[in-house]
Homo-oligomer: A and B are copies of this chain.
Amino acid sequence: MGDDGRSGPLDHGTFRGHPGPTRYRDVACGRVDGDWTGRSVQLAGWVHRRRDKGGVKFILLRDRTGLVQLAFEPEHTPQRVMEAASSLNPEDVLWIRGDVESRPPEAVNPDMPTGAVEIRVREMEVLASSDPLPILVAIPPGEDLPSEELRLRHRVLDLRRPELQRNFVVRHLATNAARAALARQGFLEVETPFLTRRTPEGARDYLVPSRIHHGEFYALPQSPQLYKQLLMVSGFDRYFQIARCLRDEDLRADRQPEFTQIDVEMAFVGEDDVFAACEQMLVDMYAVTLDRAIPVPFPRMSWAEAMESYGTDKPDLRIEWRIHDLSEVLGGRGFGIIDGALADGGRARGIVVPGGGSLSRSRLDAINDMARAAGARGALWLKCTDDGYSGPAARAVDETAGARLQAEYGLSAGDLLVLVAGPDSESSPALDVLRRQLGTELGAAGEGEHWIWVTDFPLFEADPETGAPAASHHPFTMPVDVTAAELLAEPFAVRSRAYDLVLNGTELASGSIRCHVPELQRAILEVLGMTAEQVDARFGFLLEAFRYGVPPHGGFALGLDRLIAMMVGVSSLRDVIAFPKTTAARGLMEGAPSAVEADLLADLGLRLADAGGADGD
């Protein structure tokens, strides 16, 4: 926010609730509009900027609602107050009383909600003064932000920036809209425990030692998955919760050890019912918060189609290009790389890149490297020109092939063809990367939001290291049309009733119709390598509950942090979480985690295993 207050970022039309008068103020700073002219007001806020102009001093006073200009003039302001104003520092906290006056016409600022008035100050009290600032709040336009580490350390000051505060207003509004939309559809918000039983689901649990029961531990919830299913068995019919979840994962730049999901479960439903509930919620969130309509129902695409045409289960449909199977067109023409891949049971798949002939030679040379970085053995390209074909794959294109590429796949002069030959497990990720990377470079990504439900996931996928079956989504997903015996015999052939909601290539939500048949559930857990004893030890309470009348049910969990980040247009989750952790899972402001006294550990029946220990910083 510059001196001109042009961004007024928190004066949000749909945010009707705003702070009212209190003992220290008659009105919030950003709400002193023309209606107040001629009245005496008391105000309170922070010194945003000070400006001296001749004998007059101007101060922009700031609170969450915006800025208002204070004027200290010798004619109206007592000498004592004039002097005190001279020594004010940025971020001092002021109380003032003064008269609201219209600004002279030449001084009116039409871009600032309070730009038609100023306050002639008569009384002032410094409620709290500020030491020199380690990072600025009022950052001049065009100036870079301080480093993120410094800003996280001084998070309290960074959070005063109006740009950041706006994110939390949006988060508040969007979360409220989600709650209201779900409540209207008959969902009850029910709180589930934080001190739970450890039920290994994939990621690592955070553990909490019990002081009363030495040697026993609670686990913090990775999600309320089992509790929400149990609520369905309890007849709650429709549940939701804005649920904090915790996972002790090795962190990446875009992960946080704790995150928030909109967690939803419904009884007596199929996919259509779950999708409709989720869509209605999102429609309301966008309408209330951003005054924007999103088109529903969202289109659906099977996992198989997504993998075939986009090489990924989260296709970014802003880029229209699709992956084609060119095995038949290009195979058997004596081009070794292709023929060899086909002979090994692989395929030759490719993307037509319209206008891709304009890419520089160095960019073209990078294509092979990009494919290798994504796990393929390499990629080939060819340019289509008026004079024929050039590039590493040109040899594979004879006259017949060229005619088919033009007729069936639209390849024409100026275009590029990118090819990957090999098994789908290599070509899909490579072509996914190439599609997104080249699409971005060539400006092929359209505007707007492309929502899509991806459905019919396989129930299991092979663990990349061991090849053993692992749950594609999670182990509580209903398989499609299969008996327990069939599932055990051929697990990789089983499809599931799992689905993802994808927005512009980002997986926002994930869910499934759950397995409510105990013997199928046991078979799934057996495929995952658990013995009957392990199943009983870990999930016995779920399977026990299923014995007494379990309704068909399903639901989803939507990542709220990521959705809000996309709504406000920031890339880092740390910009939509008030007190985030670093990638080393540290809270830099408060200094967490921290060492504790040995007697506290003794109370918990624990000792440190070693004095040193790995430090991940």
- B residues less than 8 Å from A532 (CB atoms): none
Which of chain B's residues has its CB closest to A588's CB?
Answer: B541
Report the bound CA distance from A614 to B155 in whole Å.
42
- B residues less than 8 Å from A20 (CB atoms): 185-186
Among A51-59, A196-204, A375-383, A433-441, the stretch that binds chain B is A196-204
Decide if A500 is an interface residue (CB 8 Å cutoff): no
- B residues less than 8 Å from A44 (CB atoms): 268, 551
Report the bound CA distance from A227 to B46 in whole Å.
20
Among A169-177, A342-350, A353-361, A487-495, the stretch that binds chain B is A169-177
Which among B175, B188, B552, B579 is the interface contact of A192 at CB below 8 angstroms? B579
Decide if A145 is an interface residue (CB 8 Å cutoff): no
Which among B133, B188, B213 is the interface contact of A172 at CB below 8 angstroms? B188
| B605 and A610 contacting across the interface, CB-CB below 8 Å | yes
Decide if A370 is an interface residue (CB 8 Å cutoff): no
Which among B197, B260, B551, B605 is the interface contact of A127 at CB below 8 angstroms? B551
| A273 and B22 contacting across the interface, CB-CB below 8 Å | yes
Contacts A236-B168, A593-B217; is A550 near B186 (CB within 8 Å)? no
- B residues less than 8 Å from A192 (CB atoms): 578-579
Decide if A62 is an interface residue (CB 8 Å cutoff): yes
- B residues less than 8 Å from A610 (CB atoms): 214, 605
Q: Which of A187-242 contact B (CB under 8 A)?
A: 187-198, 204, 206-220, 226-227, 230-231, 233-238
Decide if A104 is an interface residue (CB 8 Å cutoff): no
| A160 and B235 contacting across the interface, CB-CB below 8 Å | yes
Which of chain B's residues has its CB closest to A517's CB?
Answer: B128
| B215 and A613 contacting across the interface, CB-CB below 8 Å | yes
Decide if A269 is an interface residue (CB 8 Å cutoff): yes
| A63 and B24 contacting across the interface, CB-CB below 8 Å | no
Report the bound CA distance from A540 to B588 in whole Å.
12
- Report which residue of A198, A610, A616 has the largest number of chain B beta carbons within 10 angstroms of its beta carbon: A198
Which among B23, B238, B248 is the interface contact of A273 at CB below 8 angstroms? B23
Q: How far is the CB of A77 from chain B (nearest CB, A)?
A: 22
| B234 and A516 contacting across the interface, CB-CB below 8 Å | no
Contacts A183-B17, A235-B63, A235-B165; is A590 near B541 (CB within 8 Å)? yes
| B272 and A23 contacting across the interface, CB-CB below 8 Å | yes
Contacts A19-B238, A549-B46; is A169 near B188 (CB within 8 Å)? yes
Q: How far is the CB of A448 from chain B (nearest CB, A)?
A: 29
Which among B24, B93, B237 is the interface contact of A549 at CB below 8 angstroms? B93
Report the bound CA distance from A46 to B191 in whole Å.
24
Which of chain B's residues has its CB closest to A589's CB?
Answer: B541
Decide if A498 is an interface residue (CB 8 Å cutoff): no
- B residues less than 8 Å from A617 (CB atoms): 213
Q: How far is the CB of A242 from chain B (nearest CB, A)?
A: 8
Decide if A34 is an interface residue (CB 8 Å cutoff): no
Q: Which of A84-135 contact B (CB under 8 A)?
A: 91-93, 127-131, 133
- B residues less than 8 Å from A129 (CB atoms): 549
Report the bound CA distance from A304 to B191 in whole Å.
38
| A235 and B64 contacting across the interface, CB-CB below 8 Å | yes
| A248 and B592 contacting across the interface, CB-CB below 8 Å | no
- B residues less than 8 Å from A407 (CB atoms): none
Q: Which of A586-606 contact B (CB under 8 A)?
A: 586-587, 589-596, 600-602, 604-606
Report the bound CA distance from A131 to B591 in whole Å.
52
Which of chain B's residues has its CB closest to A214's CB?
Answer: B613
Which of chain B's residues has its CB closest to A591's CB?
Answer: B197
Report the bound CA distance from A235 to B235 in whole Å.
44
Contacts A129-B549, A194-B194; is A608 near B215 (CB within 8 Å)? yes
Give me 15 other A-B pairs in contact (C-beta within 8 A), A22-B266, A23-B270, A195-B592 excluded: A17-B187, A19-B186, A28-B186, A46-B235, A64-B236, A128-B546, A129-B549, A130-B549, A133-B548, A191-B244, A207-B604, A208-B208, A213-B593, A230-B579, A605-B613
- For this complex, 29 residue pairs linking A to B, each with C-beta atoms less than 8 Å apart, are A20-B186, A22-B266, A22-B268, A22-B269, A23-B272, A93-B550, A128-B551, A129-B549, A133-B548, A159-B231, A168-B188, A168-B236, A193-B258, A193-B581, A193-B587, A194-B194, A195-B206, A195-B581, A198-B596, A208-B593, A210-B585, A216-B594, A217-B596, A218-B592, A226-B590, A230-B579, A541-B589, A605-B608, A605-B609
Would you list the 8 A-B pairs with minimal beta carbon distance, nearest first?
A214-B613, A212-B616, A159-B234, A216-B593, A19-B186, A197-B592, A24-B268, A23-B270
